[in-house]
Structures are given as C-alpha cells and as structure tokens.
Amino acid sequence: MNDSKTLTTIGFDADDTLWQNETFFRLTQDRFTDLLADYAEADHLHDRLLAAERRNLGHYGFGVKGFTLSMIETAIEVTEGRVAASVIAELLASGREMLEHPIELLPHARQAVERLSGSHRVLLITKGDLLDQERKLAQSGLGDLFHGVEIVSDKKPAVYAQIFARHGAIPDQAMMVGNSLKSDVLPVLDVGGWGVYVPHGLTWALEHAEAPVGHARFHSINSLGDLPDLVDSLT
Amino acid sequence: MNDSKTLTTIGFDADDTLWQNETFFRLTQDRFTDLLADYAEADHLHDRLLAAERRNLGHYGFGVKGFTLSMIETAIEVTEGRVAASVIAELLASGREMLEHPIELLPHARQAVERLSGSHRVLLITKGDLLDQERKLAQSGLGDLFHGVEIVSDKKPAVYAQIFARHGAIPDQAMMVGNSLKSDVLPVLDVGGWGVYVPHGLTWALEHAEAPVGHARFHSINSLGDLPDLVDSLT
C-alpha cells in the first residue's frame, strides 16, 4: 500500500467509465423510434421516453429492466393504445439483447485500475440492475483487480460516505472517478472527497450537471490514461 | 455480544420471512389470468408465466421488474400477438402497484430480530430488485436493527460464505433463517453453516426443495417466535 496520508481509496464508476454502456441505450432508442415511426417524429418519441424514464425512476431505479418497461409504456402512450403486440415483443427483445451485449472496455481502463490497485484500495461503485452489473463486471475481466464492489440503487452523498467508511477511509482519503458529474463527482465532493471527471462522448440526459468551478478537490482528465499521474501528483 | 463460541451471526431472509411478499405476486397473477381469460384457462396461463419466469431468470434475475416483463411476454405469446395494448398497460400498472405495496410484518418478526440483535450480529440477506428491497426494508421499520444488509442477485453457497466472512464469521458460527429451503437453508448448510426453516403458507414454485433429513445443523420452526429459544438452546 502507498504510505500517503491523503489518498488511500479510489472508487471507479463502471458504465461509460470502464466500459461502453450509453451507446447500447442509444442503439435501442433508435430501434424504438424506428418501430414507432408511423406514430410520431423521433424527437418527440425521445422526449416522451425520457419523460417516462424520469417519472418511473422512483419505482424502477436505474438499469435495463426499468428502461424496457418505460419503452413499452411510452409505446402504448404515443400510439394511444394502437401499438401492435409485435412491436411490444420487439421492445422486449431489445431489452434482453441489452442484457447480453458484449463488454467493450474503454481505453486505458485495465491499465489504470491495475496500476492503482497496487498502491490504493480500489473499489467499483456502480448503479443499475444488480445481476446485469455483476454480469458486466465478470465479463470485463477486471473483477479480481477490485478490493470491493458496491452496486447501489443511487449515488447520493450519504451512500458514498457509507461506502468509504466501510472500506476504512474518511472522505478526504477517498477519490471517485467517473463520467457523470451528477452521480460520480458532485456527491463525492459534497461529502469532502476527491472527484475526478472523465468525460464520455455520450451521456444520458438525466445525468447532466454543471462542472464545479475552482474546487480544490475536483479534477478533470481526458482519459483514464491520465489518472495514475494525477493520483501521483496528489500524494 | 453473546460470548458463545458457536454462533455469532444470524442472517434473516426478508420476503415471506420478515414480511408478506408472495401474496402480492399471487394477487397480481390472478389479475393476469383474469385479463387473459378469453384466451386460455387460468392453469395454462400460470404454467406459461412460470415457464417465462424460469426462462428469463438468467437475464432478469429476481424481482418485480423481471416478473412484469415476463407477464407481458407471456400475454403476447398466449394470445399469439392479439393481446390489446390496454391489457399490456394494465400489466405495467400491476407491476408498479407491486412496487408500492405496503409492508406487512409477519408475526414475531420484530421481536425476534430485536431480541437477537442484542446478542448476535444480525444480517438481512435478500435477493430481488435492489431499489425495491431497500424500499421494503425502510418501510418495515426494522432497518436500524440489522448490523448489515446484503442484497444479492442469487443465494448460492459461495455468496453466503463471502457474506459471513465479510462479517467476521466462519460458516459454523453463522445461521440463516428463512422460508425458502432452496435459497435460505440448503446453500448455508452446504457451506457448513446452520439453516433454520420457517415455512410460509405460500411459496413460489421456483423456490421448492426437499427438506434435509437428519442434518445436525438444520432446524425447522413454526414461526419466528420460536427462534430466540432455538438459538439459546444451541449456545
């Protein structure tokens, strides 16, 4: 273990930080708008689907199963009940295909986790469907590198504080690295930890947030390839 | 803490051990068969739904969201695509209602957990949708009594061994209490722990298993009211 007093623990987000995810949601959304093209424009369908996702988040939480249910609900709504069962069956199939998509690691993901797991306690901290997140971690081949895996229903400040405490770190010894300012960075800064933003080209609309300005524990990097040097510079 | 060398840790299953659950699934299944009564007999519909649940378990895991998706899939199948969108909408609504059903504690649940939490490390170990299980625990009012909460994707022997280890127990210091022989009792006996079966009148077909015969670490009790005395008798 690194003998730094300042940083002992590094949490990694999973989807769109370590591996591709949003791209599969976008492909499925395109299929959704194609299937319903006779009823409404693509933009309108996107808006209605996003509204359903937002409305259902408190019931379904994050993940593919809730997304599939929201697609079906939206299909019924926008067609005023005229949607064919064959279209619903296609939406079910789309959802199942998402639950089987192959894992495509993002650049430098393995190297960054490997390198830092030798010097720090590294955690995977992700939200979504429990089984699906476990499947993706298993298929990523990164599972053995993490000292802990935390699949949570939402990424709130108190959730991070509990996770860090469970792994023996106070927040200012802990860093979270991820592609969502809203879920990975801001709540960790909020409890006194370090937040590292690694932007991904595609971000789900419900994850949008403004970057903090001039915050001492906030950093932004272009890719995970820059993370080890950033960590070294802080310790 | 109890100074017993033999039993330090007691895990409780949640659904149908601490609170009612299967009864809500049965009510929803009845609604499902009513909605599709024009197409098939209730027994046939039950069989088809169960087959879909079994087939989809590897994709969806356990819980209400996967159950809802399986109901929709079965409705399309048994009607050969003729099901009305209004019926699908009703199935979506049924699923959402299940995610809001009030928590009804089973007899002696609070007293048993309260009593044993003073002498043992008590854990909640449950499978299902992450957010839904968290909601139910919060609404049960029992959350503060548990030393740890573990929501898992499946209850396999290795999962129990990991959980017990994480909480500082070797298996023969650990007991699991629940209504499912298949998920709560047999896998724990398998890793060398104690298994206590508390039958519930309603058990999901996919949870059926035979009770072990003459196993030294297996016990069956009529209700959680008998658990503290059983634990006392073992220590």
* B162-203 pLDDT tens trace: 999 999 999 999 999 999 999 999 999 999 999 999 999 888
Strand ranges for chain B from DSSP E: 9-12, 121-127, 148-152, 174-178, 194-197, 218-220
Whether B147 and chain A come into contact, CB under 8 Å, resolves to no
pLDDT at A166 over 60: yes
Through-space distance between the first and last CA atoms of chain A, rounded to whole angstroms:
13
Same domain, B140 and B41: no
* Residue of chain A with shortest Cα separation from B93: A73
**CATH code for the domain in which residue B83 is found:** 1.10.150.240
**Minimal Cβ distance to B88: which of A61, A72, A96:** A72
Domain assignment present for A34 = yes
Calpha distance B19→B199 (Å, rounded): 13
> Do A130 and B130 count as a contact with CB atoms less than 8 A apart?
yes
Query: pLDDT band at residue A235, thresholds of 50, 70 and 90?
Result: confident
Average of pLDDT values for A82-94?
A: 97
Measured between beta carbons, which residues in chain A are less than 8 angstroms from residue B129? 61, 65, 129-130
3-class DSSP state of B52: helix
Same domain, A45 and A138: no
Range of the domain at A89: 22-98
Could you say which of A76, A98, A120 is where a domain stops? Answer: A98
**Minimal Cβ distance to B153: which of A66, A92, A131:** A131
**Per-residue tokens: B230:** 């059983």
List the pLDDT tens digit at each of the 235 positions of chain B.
333 458 999 999 999 999 999 999 999 999 999 999 999 999 999 999 999 999 999 999 999 999 999 999 999 999 999 999 999 999 999 999 999 999 999 999 999 999 999 999 999 999 999 999 999 999 999 999 999 999 999 999 999 999 999 999 999 999 999 999 999 999 999 999 999 999 998 888 888 899 999 999 999 999 999 999 999 999 7
| Shortest Cα distance, chain A CAs vs residue B8, angstroms | 20
| Shortest Cα distance, chain A CAs vs residue B181, angstroms | 22
Same domain, A35 and A130: no
Same domain, B121 and B14: yes
Whether A81 and chain B come into contact, CB under 8 Å, resolves to yes
pLDDT at A5: 59
pLDDT tens, residue by residue, A200-210: 988 888 888 99
Could you say which of B98, B128, B143 is where a domain stops? Answer: B98
pLDDT at B99: 96
**Per-residue tokens: A135:** 């499947």
Is-contact A198 A174, C-beta < 8 A? Answer: no
Please choose, from the candidates B183, B227, B212, B189, the residue with its C-alpha nearest in 3D space to the C-alpha of residue B22: B183
pLDDT at A2 over 80: no
pLDDT at B6: 85
Calpha distance B150→B129 (Å, rounded): 12
CA dist B48 → A121, B28, B144, B169, B189 (Å): 47, 15, 41, 42, 33
Query: pLDDT band at residue A11, thresholds of 50, 70 and 90?
Result: very high
CA dist A125 → A8, A147, A149, A162, B34 (Å): 16, 11, 6, 12, 43
Domain assignment present for A3 = no
| Shortest Cα distance, chain B CAs vs residue A183, angstroms | 16
Same domain, A125 and A230: yes
Same domain, A59 and A166: no
> Do B59 and A84 count as a contact with CB atoms less than 8 A apart?
no
Domain assignment present for A4 = no
pLDDT at A116: 98
Same domain, B120 and B219: yes
Please choose, from the candidates A197, A203, A199, the residue with its C-alpha nearest in 3D space to the C-alpha of residue A184: A197
Measured between beta carbons, which residues in chain B are less than 8 angstroms from residue A68? 69
pTM of the model: 0.93
What is this model's ipTM?
A: 0.93
- Cα Dmax for chain B: 64
Please choose, from the candidates A173, A136, A144, A196, the residue with its C-alpha nearest in 3D space to the C-alpha of residue A12: A196
Could you say which of A80, A98, A116 is where a domain stops? Answer: A98
What is the count of structural domains for chain A?
A: 2
pLDDT at A3: 38
Same domain, B129 and B198: yes
pLDDT at B4: 42
pLDDT tens, residue by residue, A98-143: 999 999 999 999 999 999 999 999 999 999 999 999 999 999 999 9
